[in-house]
């Protein structure tokens, strides 16, 4: 959803710029040219900065980086495609498809069809008054802004922080490690003993044991284990999330 929203953002900026300039009296070709000259490189800068914001998770040298790298790739490709479309194709389509914005503005607000200042409406007048007030009382505004920032920083400590949500998987991974150099037979004997304990445990649906090696990588964050005669790994499937949590707690 994030990439989809960013994909259409640059095109919206270009269309809005063309519509405003046509409303001010520019002809179609001049409005389309203005959209290119005034927004192309600022949008490119914003595109690259936004893509760079996702770079740390793409370069993370961990299992997390392995399956979050695609986020950076998708967002970057979407943003670059959005920028190319906004500066190459949108002005062309706008020149062909946009209606006569100056005539529409004249019908809506009155005045000449040769052009209309879209920033003279009641909404922008109110915004202008607010901006003027903030400039005239800039010291008060700065103090209030700093106070709001400090309050936000202090209150941010109350916000629960979690990089990824808790896992909702029913599988539990149980590693069994004997002393280094233990035989495969000794490891298998311990596996059979642990299987007997699992059979009596309430809340376990089924399980499988891998002796001398680890489980196949059936989901991405699972770390692969090197073969070893002193190692075994269980994949235990609980009946529910609650059962999985209780089993994991012991």
Domain definitions of the chain by residue range: 1-111, 118-156, 171-248
What count of Cα atoms within 13 Å lies in the side-chain half-sphere of residue 211?
14
Range 5-10 average pLDDT: 77
Whether the per-residue pLDDT at 113 is higher than 60: the answer is no
Q: Per-residue confidence at 115, pLDDT binned at 50, 70, 90? A: low
118-122: average pLDDT: 76
Task: Give 54's DSSP letter.
Answer: T
Res 226: pLDDT: 84
Residues 122-162: tens digit of each pLDDT: 888 899 999 999 999 999 999 999 999 999 999 988 887 76
Q: How high is the mean pLDDT of the chain? A: 82
**Cβ atoms of 214 and 235 closer than 8 Å:** no
CA dist., res. 213 & res. 176, Å (int): 10
Of 66-75, 89-98, 111-120, 156-165, the poorest mean pLDDT is in 111-120
**% of the chain at pLDDT higher than 70:** 87
- Kindly report, residue by residue over 154-169, the tens digit of the pLDDT: 998 888 776 666 667 7
Residue 112 has pLDDT above 60, yes or no: no
In angstroms, how far is the first alpha carbon of the chain from the final one? 39
The CATH number of the domain covering residues in 171-248: 3.30.70
Burial tier of 238 (Cβ tally within 10 Å: 0-12, 13-18, 19+):
buried
**Higher pLDDT, residue 214 or 35:** 214
10: number of CA atoms within 13 Å, CB side? 30
- Per-residue pLDDT of 30-60, as tens digits, reads 888 887 788 888 888 888 888 888 888 777 7
Q: Are 239 and 205 in contact (CB under 8 A)?
A: yes
Quickly state the pLDDT bin for 250 (edges 50, 70, 90): low
pLDDT in tens, 175-213: 889 988 888 899 999 999 988 888 888 888 888 899 988
Q: What pLDDT is attached to residue 132?
A: 95
Q: Is the pLDDT of residue 9 over 60?
A: yes
Distance CA 113, CA 102 (A): 5
Name the burial class of residue 173, with classes exposed (0-12), middle (13-18) and buried (19+) by CB atoms within 10 angstroms of its CB: middle
Long-range contacts made by residues 219-228, C-beta under 8 angstroms, separation at least 24? 219/169, 220/63, 220/66, 220/67, 221/63, 221/64, 221/67, 222/173, 223/63, 225/175
The CATH number assigned to the domain with range 1-111 reads: 1.20.1640.10
Tell me the whole-structure pTM to 2 decimals: 0.53
Q: Is the dihedral of CA 135, 137, 142, 144 positive or negative?
A: negative
3-state helix, strand, coil in the chain (%, to 5): 65, 10, 25
Task: Determine contact, residues 204/235, Cβ cutoff 8 Å.
Answer: no
Q: How far is CA 152 from CA 50, 143, 146, 156, in A?
A: 24, 14, 10, 6
């Amino acid at each position: 959803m994030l990439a989809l929203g960013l994909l259409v953002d640059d095109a919206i900026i270009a269309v809005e710029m063309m519509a405003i300039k046509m409303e001010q009296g520019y002809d179609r070709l001049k409005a389309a040219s203005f959209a290119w000259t005034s927004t192309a490189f600022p949008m490119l800068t914003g595109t690259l900065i936004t893509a760079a914001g996702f770079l740390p998770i793409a370069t993370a040298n961990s299992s997390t980086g392995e399956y979050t790298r695609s986020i950076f790739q998708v967002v970057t490709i979407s943003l670059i495609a959005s920028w190319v479309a906004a500066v190459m194709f949108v002005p062309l389509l706008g020149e062909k498809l946009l209606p006569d914005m100056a005539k529409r503005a004249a019908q809506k607000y009155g005045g000449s069809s040769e052009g209309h200042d879209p920033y003279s409406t009641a909404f922008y007048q109110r915004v202008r008054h607010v901006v003027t007030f903030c400039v005239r009382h800039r010291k008060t505004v700065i103090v209030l802004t700093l106070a709001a920032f400090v309050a936000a920083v202090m209150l941010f400590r109350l916000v629960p922080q979690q990089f990824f949500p808790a896992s909702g998987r029913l599988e539990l991974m149980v590693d069994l490690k004997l002393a280094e150099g233990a035989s495969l037979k000794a490891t298998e004997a311990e596996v059979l003993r642990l299987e007997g304990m699992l059979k009596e445990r309430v809340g376990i649906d089924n399980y499988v044991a891998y002796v001398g090696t680890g489980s196949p990588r059936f989901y991405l964050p699972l770390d692969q284990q090197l073969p070893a005669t002193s190692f075994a790994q269980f994949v235990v499937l609980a009946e529910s999330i609650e059962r999985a949590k209780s089993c994991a707690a012991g």
